[in-house]
């Protein structure tokens, strides 16, 4: 007999011994529980033993198919070893949810469970276990939010969703930085196609949950999104993402000119101040208006919102002229969803995004963003001037 076969036989034998040992100890604990329940805690209860009933339990030491649970004739006694109708230890459910959160497919999770406890869990069972977070999602989406957010970052990404067939649908995501300099995932929405109306509905929900005062909204160039944003937060500024604008410009400029055009545009968003930025743009305009008139027109129409960041403290300007802050989270979401190829339902996507959002928020609440924290007094003055309130 080869060493590998011998090792497998030995491993299986040890596994059976451990499983039997755990079974014996659990049954002993439950017998002692029942004895203590009637003899010490409730000596006046009149009931008699009524044998045992068999049930299965998945433990970290393997699957126990025939656990003997003591019972009394009147049904007074209930063991505390597990909850009624519980078929698995809590660690297993938590492990499954954690794996699902990190982008493992239900099939992959099922295979992992089979290797650990020797019993296969179907994709449906895995999905049912992760469904425990659905109520948490509903509560999370209704939780009260801070009154003031210095910045709201808005971004969306597409993923493949199966309904009758597979098609691309959108995930809306909003991340805020509050007036104390703490970053937070505020809300998300799954499904449909990205639109200004969809963003307006999500922003309106934020307002209803307590977000009354916002200084700046940062997002890319989705048509009419600025209008929708201003309808909900009319006193807030809009900052168009400079990086997105540069990417769009690249597709409109010949390869041989890209280096010169980009160097000229960098001077616009690396200027000393807003006045200098306008001057740098005018220089760029004079040089390139006859060669790329549409590019010039596009920048000119959006210039105010592309250089709005100059109205804010210098130390935070690098963090507010792009959507990089939220794009890192979007990238992580896509990474978690990618192994699943296409998702079977909106709720399957919501579970992953919710778990990831909670993970982010638990990490972010531990520390303030130093740049925002250092200009907290300046931002407070901007809030009070903008909203004419002194808190």
Contacts of 33 (CB under 8 A, 6+ apart): 77, 79, 80, 81
pLDDT at residue number 100? 55
3 state SS for the chain: CCHHHHHHHHHHHHHHHHHHHHHHHHHHHHHHHHHHHHHHHCCCCCCCEEEEEEEEEEECCEEEEEEEEEEECCCCCCCCCCCCCCCECHHHHHHHHHHHHCCCCHHHHHHHHHHHHCCCCCHHHHHHHHHHHHHHHHHHCCCCCCCEEEEEEEEEEEEEEECCCEEEEEEEEEEEEECCCCEEEEEEEECCCCCHHHHHHHHHHHHHCCCCEEEEEEECCCCCHHHHHHHHCCCCEEEECHHHHHHHHHCCCCHHHHHHHHHHHHHHHCCCCHHHHHHHHHHHHHHHCCCCHHHHHHHHHHHHHHCHHHHCCHHHHHHHCCCHHHHHHHHHHHHHHHHHCCECCHHHHHHHHHHHHHHHHHHHCCCCCHHHHHCHHHHHHHHHHHHCCCC
Which two three-digit tokens encode residue 235?
């006193």
A 10 A CB-CB count for 159 gives 19
Helix axes 106-117, 123-130, angle to 10 degrees: 100
Percentage of the chain beyond pLDDT 90 is 51
pLDDT at residue number 11? 46
- Please give the average per-residue pLDDT across 63-68, as a whole number: 76
- Please give the average per-residue pLDDT across 248-276, as a whole number: 94
What predicted TM-score, i.e. pTM, was given to this entire model? Answer: 0.70
284-321 pLDDT tens trace: 999 999 999 999 999 999 999 999 999 999 999 999 99
Among the listed residues 139, 228, 146, the one whose alpha carbon sits nearest the alpha carbon of residue 179: 146
As a whole number of angstroms, the distance between CA 79 and CA 30 comes to 6
- Look-up of token digits 């199966």: 162
> 88: number of CA atoms within 13 Å, CB side?
19
Q: CA geometry: angle at 365 spanning 362 and 370, to 5°?
A: 140
- Please give the average per-residue pLDDT across 114-126, as a whole number: 57
Contact (Cβ atoms closer than 8 angstroms) between residue 92 and residue 62:
no
224-261 pLDDT tens trace: 999 999 999 999 999 999 999 999 999 999 999 999 99
Among the listed residues 176, 102, 191, 109, the one whose alpha carbon sits nearest the alpha carbon of residue 146: 176
Beta strands 166-178; 183-190: pairing state: antiparallel
Contacts of 373 (CB under 8 A, 6+ apart): 180, 181
The residues that bridge with 189 in the sheet, in sequence order, are 172
Q: CA geometry: angle at 95 spanning 91 and 101, to 5°?
A: 145
Q: Which of 53-62, 94-103, 269-278 has the lowest mean pLDDT?
A: 94-103
pLDDT at residue number 8? 52
pLDDT at residue number 202? 96
CA distances from 250 to 246, 305, 323 (A): 6, 19, 18
Which two three-digit tokens encode residue 77?
């006694």
142-165 pLDDT tens trace: 999 999 999 999 999 988 887 878
- Averaged confidence pLDDT in the chain: 82
Q: Tell whether the model's pLDDT for residue 79 goes beyond 60.
A: yes
- Look-up of token digits 């009149």: 46
pLDDT at residue number 201? 96
178-232 pLDDT tens trace: 999 999 999 999 988 999 999 999 999 999 999 999 999 999 978 899 999 999 9
């Amino acid at each position: 007999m080869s060493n590998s076969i011998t090792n497998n036989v030995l491993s299986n034998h040890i596994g059976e011994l451990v499983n039997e040992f755990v079974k014996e100890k659990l049954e002993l604990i439950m017998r002692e529980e029942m004895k203590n329940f009637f003899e010490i805690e409730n000596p006046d209860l009149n009931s008699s033993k009524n044998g045992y009933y068999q049930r299965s339990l998945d433990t970290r030491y393997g699957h126990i198919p025939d656990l003997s649970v003591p019972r009394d004739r009147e049904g007074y006694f209930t063991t505390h070893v597990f909850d009624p109708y519980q078929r698995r230890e809590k660690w297993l459910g938590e492990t499954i949810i954690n794996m699902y959160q990190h982008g493992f497919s239900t099939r992959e999770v099922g295979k992992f469970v089979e290797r650990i406890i020797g019993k296969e869990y179907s994709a449906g069972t895995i999905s049912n276990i992760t469904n425990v977070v659905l109520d948490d999602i509903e509560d999370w989406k209704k939780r009260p939010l801070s009154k003031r957010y210095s910045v709201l970052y808005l971004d969306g990404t597409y993923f493949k969703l199966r309904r009758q067939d597979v098609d691309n649908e959108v995930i809306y995501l909003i991340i805020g930085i509050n007036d104390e300099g703490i970053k937070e995932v505020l809300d998300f929405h799954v499904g449909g196609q990205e639109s200004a109306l969809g963003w307006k509905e999500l922003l309106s929900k934020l307002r209803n949950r307590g977000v009354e005062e916002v200084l700046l909204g940062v997002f890319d160039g989705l048509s009419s999104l600025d209008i929708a944003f201003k309808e909900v937060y009319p006193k807030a500024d809009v900052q168009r993402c400079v990086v997105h604008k540069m990417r769009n410009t690249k597709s409109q400029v010949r390869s041989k000119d890209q280096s010169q055009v980009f160097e000229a545009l960098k001077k616009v968003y690396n200027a000393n101040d807003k006045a200098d930025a306008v001057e740098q743009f005018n220089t760029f305009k004079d040089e390139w208006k006859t060669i790329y008139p549409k590019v010039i027109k596009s920048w000119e129409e959006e210039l105010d919102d592309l250089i709005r960041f100059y109205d804010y403290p210098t130390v935070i300007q690098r963090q507010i002229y792009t959507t990089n802050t939220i794009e890192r989270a979007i990238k992580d979401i896509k990474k978690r969803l990618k192994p699943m190829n296409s998702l079977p339902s909106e709720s399957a996507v919501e579970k992953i995004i919710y778990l990831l959002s909670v993970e982010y928020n638990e990490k972010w609440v531990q520390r303030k963003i130093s740049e925002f924290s250092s200009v907290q007094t300046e931002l407070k003055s901007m809030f009070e001037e903008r909203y004419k309130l002194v808190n």
